[in-house]
Amino acid sequence: MGRQELGSGSDGGSDEGSDGDSLHSFHYSPKAVDIPSAERLAKRLYHLDGFKKSDVSRHLSKNNEFSRAVAEEYVKHFDFASATLDAAVRAFLSRFALSGETQERERVLVHFSRRYLECNPGSFNSQDAVHTLTCAIMLLNTDLHGGAAGGAFRRMSCAEFIDNLADLNDGDNFPRDTLKALYHAIRAHPLQWALDGETPPASTVGGTGGGGATAPVPGSNPFLDVPDQSRAVEYKKGYVMRKCCVDANGRRTPFGRRGWKMFYCTLRDLVLYLHKDEHGFRRNQMSDNLHNAIRIHHALATKATDYTKKQHVFRLQTADQAEYLFQTSDSKELCSWVETINFVCAAYSAPPLAGAVGSQRKFQRPLLPCSHTKLSMREQLAEHEERAARLEEELAALRHARDVTPHARDKDHYLVHEVGIGGGAYWRIC
């Protein structure tokens, strides 16, 4: 169904290395791509000639030159002149089912953003600003309308929506009246998703094949230094909402810093980078690249079933006893983030080192190095199985002793956390 026509133009564009490097590459060469074939396929996709709505997105979202050419031709069939951004999004999403991994959906929305600004020059500072705002209103739609009936979830307020988008119009603020209008439009009329009677295939964990270990930089301290992100393997990325609950060493986050904030989240090796938008790594300031970075070695991501104010939320507990909540756009993204984070943690976290020894009756937590393991995948799997069994024995013995001292409580808390990580490592790697 359209496969032969798609293949006829794919000779001119092969998959590029990194999703981030080519996400915004719009200037394809006419000599390298069969433009007439791209135009024909785009027209057929728009009119659903031989295609279903659930087929369209996969032809627009591939990371190669021909797919980008098809997407460029496809969006030309839309006229967004004088339309508000939410109205344009509604018209765009009514034609096909937007599906796939976060990176794939964002590639499609990038082309939408370019077309919207082309039809409405001067409406926003740049195409990137349109893309950021488009992703923000889709997250807003999930926040306002994704919960169960009865008002059990606390919805995002208009003020919070505006605050989350501060300085994201290419360094400027979006017009306040525009954001208010978008907020109330989404609240009054939820976005509708195109369906053709078939459920789109479930997304799989992205980027979990192959080894992710990178060699440490000579002279670096793997316990303190954040690894070179330019050489790291990228596993997943996308817009999320984040809330800080517990700071490092188990200290409760001060009330003034517990609010929800929108970030563009990128998982590279054992570090979760949080930026204001998808261009954080393009800036040259190292301090900006490391701002809000979260190490995930020996971390554990779980669905936050006990958190009822918002839905599609997962909890991330880190090796330094910090705790965060992340809200995703839907249940598939929630599962994808949890599975990807846990796979990377299980596959590449270096084995713990023995804790300090002293005469005080105080539990000393083992050291959890943030460097990559030197074990092969098979050896890492065997180490997890052995460690999980050993930790479960220690936990059972501790609870059998009925020791309620602070020493025992601290050890119990540590063992429960480590059993959760080690016990699930087997199926995460498999």
Rounded Cα distance, 109 and 417, in Å: 39
Residue 424 has pLDDT above 60, yes or no: no
Question: What are the tokens at 118?
Answer: 């082309």
CB 327 within 8 Å of CB 282: no
Alpha carbon 27 to its chain's center: 26
- What are the residues whose beta carbons fall under 8 Å from the beta carbon of 361, sequence distance 6 or more? 405, 407
CB 212 within 8 Å of CB 344: yes
Higher-confidence residue of 227 and 33: namely 33
Residue 126 has pLDDT above 80, yes or no: yes
Q: Which of 19-33, 185-199, 325-339 has the lowest mean pLDDT?
A: 19-33
Residue type, 119: C
Considering only CA atoms, which of 45, 42, 44 is closest in space to residue 34?
42
Model confidence at 196, pLDDT cuts 50, 70, 90, reads: low
Q: What is the DSSP string of 258-289?
A: -S-EEEEEEEETTEEEEESSTTGGGS--HHHH
Question: What are the tokens at 271?
Answer: 């570090």
Average pLDDT, the chain: 78
Report the alpha-carbon angle 37-41-46, nearest 5: 150
Higher-confidence residue of 1 and 45: namely 45
pLDDT digits 0-9 by tens, 271-290: 998 988 888 777 544 444 56
Domains of the chain in start order, with CATH, are 3-151+176-188 (1.10.1000.11), 229-347 (2.30.29.30)
pLDDT digits 0-9 by tens, 48-80: 988 899 889 989 998 899 999 999 999 999 999
3-state secondary structure of 252: strand
Per-residue model confidence (pLDDT) at position 355: 64
* Adjacent-strand bridge partners of 242: 261, 326
pLDDT digits 0-9 by tens, 3-28: 334 333 333 443 444 444 444 444 44
CB 428 within 8 Å of CB 347: yes
Question: What are the tokens at 419?
Answer: 């059993």
Strand order in the sheet with 300-303: 294-295, 271-275, 261-268, 234-246, 323-327, 313-317, 300-303
CB 269 within 8 Å of CB 372: yes
Long-range contacts formed by 46-49: CB under 8 A, 24+ apart: 46/74, 46/77, 46/95
